[in-house]
Amino acid sequence: MHSLDATNFLTDDEIELQRMARRFMDNEVAAATPEMEATGTLPMDLMREMGSLGLLGTFFPEKYGGGGFTITSRAIVSEEMARVNAGLDISIFADIVLFARAIARHGTEEQKQKYLVPVLRGEKIGSMAITEPKGGSDALSARSHARQDGSDYIVDGHKIFITNAPVADFILVIVRTEGKDREINGGTWFIIERGADGLTTSQPFDKLGMKSSPTGEVFIDSVRVPAENILGEVNRGFHYLMESLDVERVLEGASNIGIAQACLDASAQYAQERVVFGKPISQYQLIQEKIADMAMGIELSRTMLYRLMRAVERDEVVTREASILKLYSSKMAVQASSDAVQIYGGNGYMEEYPVARFYRDAKHHEIGAGTTEIQKIIIARETLKHYGRT
């Protein structure tokens, strides 16, 4: 039972979606999570079930198998998903928010039928590869490149830390097709299918957290890609990337809130049951302080999240606010998970209890989709613009 949730911000249909997502996560995903964490794979039966229930394609047009909701629906589902399994949530984020949304925004009708429809059904998995060994924060310095050969392109490159790469059927890869290092013009997106000659992906990395989500490398060795697999316009790829970052950062707020909500739910229950010095530890003010901090952080983040989601629906530019939410909510979730481990004491350090997983998972969101430092740079730059300085 949540004392607080997003209900105040939602329409009746959205509340219904939230309830359905919550039921599914509690009834189906919670039980599957230990196995997913141990194997680091995405169970395809679970993916297909989410697809058929409409939990993947909530905000896509119905003609492609989507639910016809606004993009706020993804925040609703993400909160519920991350509350139970944040690793699954980042895999769905890569599959749906990164891959499928890019196809829906920039793809041809043929590409939508071929790539979007099966991904929304949960039959195929998508992935988006930007980060390279020499450039994560500095995405415009991509070394991967492509040259034209007749109507095809020959693509060469190496991508790292790519969510879903070890299992993805379709990988959307950005490479330089023109221009100099750090130039915004000259990037192009290619959709490369598993099985293409010269494409290999690594085994999943062994990583700190988000263990349910397979993360790997993509090696692209002179892969011949037909022109019909170019997404959008040639040389406009970095523009598309920059245009989508704000929404991705706002949506990462939902995942942070889900993790923090899980910490609060677990901590509040444990603190009332655990008796030390003759009293439940929830009666000690030092424990209450941690509960209060979690409640405050969740409430503030959630209020901002849904305000920004409605602004995104209206196509408003939210660059500064997206970075504020991403930075604040990721720090908040890391602190909440640390406090949850502390409230559980020795039990918190044991894998038998879920808070150790929350602690490991939360850290990812201070790094992925732009690090904390990069968010600070954006917040300062965008704020100073209001004062006429850069």
Ligand X SMILES: Cc1cc2nc3c(=O)[nH]c(=O)nc-3n(C[C@H](O)[C@H](O)[C@H](O)COP(=O)(O)OP(=O)(O)OC[C@H]3O[C@@H](n4cnc5c(N)ncnc54)[C@H](O)[C@@H]3O)c2cc1C
Q: Is 375 in the site for ligand X (CB under 6 A)?
A: no
Side chain identity at residue 301, one-letter code: S
Mark the segment that binds ligand X (CB under 6 A) among 101-109, 176-184, 319-327, 365-373. 365-373
Choice from 249, 331, 357, 364 touching ligand X (CB under 6 A):
364
Q: Quick one: 352 exposed, middle or buried, by C-beta within 10 A (0-12, 13-18, 19+)?
A: exposed
Q: How far is the CB of 45 from ligand X (least distance, A)?
A: 23
248 belongs to the catalytic site:
yes
d(CA 203, CA 90): 18
Q: Is 268 in the site for ligand X (CB under 6 A)?
A: no
Residue with smallest beta-carbon separation from ligand X: 136
φ/ψ of residue 42, rounded to 5: -100, 115
- Cβ distance 318 to 308 under 8 Å? yes
Q: Is 119 in the site for ligand X (CB under 6 A)?
A: no
Encoded tokens for 227: 């022109």
Choice from 75, 81, 129, 341 touching ligand X (CB under 6 A):
129
Helix (H) or strand (E) holding 163: strand 152-163
- Cβ distance 363 to 341 under 8 Å? no
DSSP for 165-209 reads TTT-SEEEEEEE-SS-TT-STTEEEEEEETT-TTEEEPPPP--SS
Binding mask 68-97 for ligand X (x = CB under 6 A): --------------------------x---
Segment 186-225, which members bind ligand X (CB under 6 A)?
Answer: 207, 210, 215
Q: Is 316 in the site for ligand X (CB under 6 A)?
A: no
Encoded tokens for 206: 């062994």
d(CA 8, CA 298): 14
Question: The tokens 């939990």 sit on which residue?
Answer: 55
Nearer to ligand X, 307 or 363 (CB): 363
Mark the segment that binds ligand X (CB under 6 A) among 52-60, 107-115, 156-164, 228-236. 156-164
Sign of CA dihedral 278, 280, 282, 286: positive
Mark the segment that binds ligand X (CB under 6 A) among 54-62, 218-226, 241-249, 367-375. 367-375
Q: Which of 14, 79, 248, 366 is catalytic?
A: 248
Mark the segment that binds ligand X (CB under 6 A) among 40-48, 69-77, 241-249, 361-369. 361-369
Q: Is 338 in the site for ligand X (CB under 6 A)?
A: no
Other beta carbons within 10 angstroms of residue 387's beta carbon come to: 7
Q: Is 116 in the site for ligand X (CB under 6 A)?
A: no
Q: Which residues bind ligand X (CB under 6 A)?
A: 94, 128-131, 136-137, 161-163, 207, 210, 215, 364, 367-368, 370-371, 373-374
Residues recognised as catalytic: 248
